[in-house]
Structure 1
Amino acid sequence: MSADAEAPRKKVLIVDDDVPMAGLLQLFFRFEDVDLDLAATGSEALEKLAADDVDLLVLDLMLPEVGGLEIIRELQQRKRSPAILVITSQAGDATSEERLRAEPNVAGYFRKPFDQQRFLQAARAILAGR
């Protein structure tokens, strides 16, 4: 058996309360060799992140209960934090966007609607490095 066959699958958690968008993101990953999970609220995401090591977090900023920025900041306090791809439909000013991109665990920032290929390239690069 090769080393690749023995390597555990990477884990991706998609957090978005927009059901059609979450479904679309699931489709993006359909041909990727990953374990995929979904959360619809910030609280649900934090529970799943506490229970399991996640390699990549695809995170909407505007969530019920606990917002995306709060999740980003909480994860920075943990020993091991997943890489985060932020997705948002929220139009922010350039300064806010740059501050968010500068967060140490934010690996990418995508404003909806975004290019599937560019998004997947970023996700693949992150997962290859973990």
Structure 2
Amino acid sequence: MSKSILVVDDDKEIAELIEVYLHNEGYTINKAQDGVQALNFLEKNQVDLIVLDVMMPKMDGLEFCKQVRKGNQVPILMVSAKVQDMDKIIGLMSGADDYMSKPFNPLELTARVKALLRRASYQQPAVENDRIQISSLEIDKHSHEVTANGRE
């Protein structure tokens, strides 16, 4: 099943460029032009990743990111013309998982999207139980002790 990506950017040319590259990788792309429109979309739809511009009308990317993080852990890749270290730090502190500066290489953006999706789908291995219970016997795998009815 194709992963769904929401591209939130008020610059239509950049949004279309992102769409072309990510669509060519097999992703389903939805677009919003500002944070308000994107929040409305997320109320009715689930996405696997968000590519987010910072500077937008109505609601900027930082505020949108904070709103999303109130109840959603979807990966967010922030893309912005703001390139100062402090801008990047603020973006990451607002809830973004990664930050790219504009102009960007579309192939790098694609690689970062793949990496974020890979990490998001990674499942921690189940924690193995340290004890085995067989009827009234309990075996501790680490100490190799056997307990019967609560006694060693």
C-alpha distance 99-40 of structure 1, shift in aligned 2 (>3 A): closer
Q: Tell me if the contact between 2:5 and 2:30 (Cα under 8 Å) persists in the aligned partners.
A: yes
Q: Distance in 1 between matches of 2:103 and 2:87?
A: 19
The AA in structure 2 aligned to 1:15 is: V
**Structure 1 residue runs without a partner (length 5+):** 1-7
Q: Tell me if the contact between 2:5 and 2:51 (Cα under 8 Å) persists in the aligned partners.
A: yes
CA drift of 1:68 comes to 0.5
Alignment-derived partner of residue 117 in structure 1: 107
State the Cα RMSD in Å: 1.6
Q: Distance in 2 between matches of 1:20 and 1:31?
A: 17
TM norm structure 1: 0.83
Q: Distance in 1 between matches of 2:85 and 2:118?
A: 30
**Structure 2 residue runs without a partner (length 5+):** 122-152
Q: 1:25 and 2:15 equivalent?
A: no
Identity of aligned residues (%): 28
Alignment-derived partner of residue 66 in structure 2: 73
Q: 1:94 and 2:68 equivalent?
A: no
Larger fraction in helix = 1
Alignment-derived partner of residue 84 in structure 1: 76
Count of aligned residue pairs for this structure pair: 120
CA-to-partner distance for each residue in 1:85-113, whole Å, 9 max, x for gaps? Answer: 1011134x42332232244x422111111
The answer to which structure, 1 or 2, has the higher relative contact order (CA under 8 A, 6+ apart) is: 1
Alignment-derived partner of residue 9 in structure 1: 2
TM norm structure 2: 0.72
Greater Rg over alpha carbons, structure: 2
The AA in structure 2 aligned to 1:38 is: K
Q: Distance in 2 between matches of 1:17 and 1:102?
A: 22
CA drift of 1:14 comes to 0.3
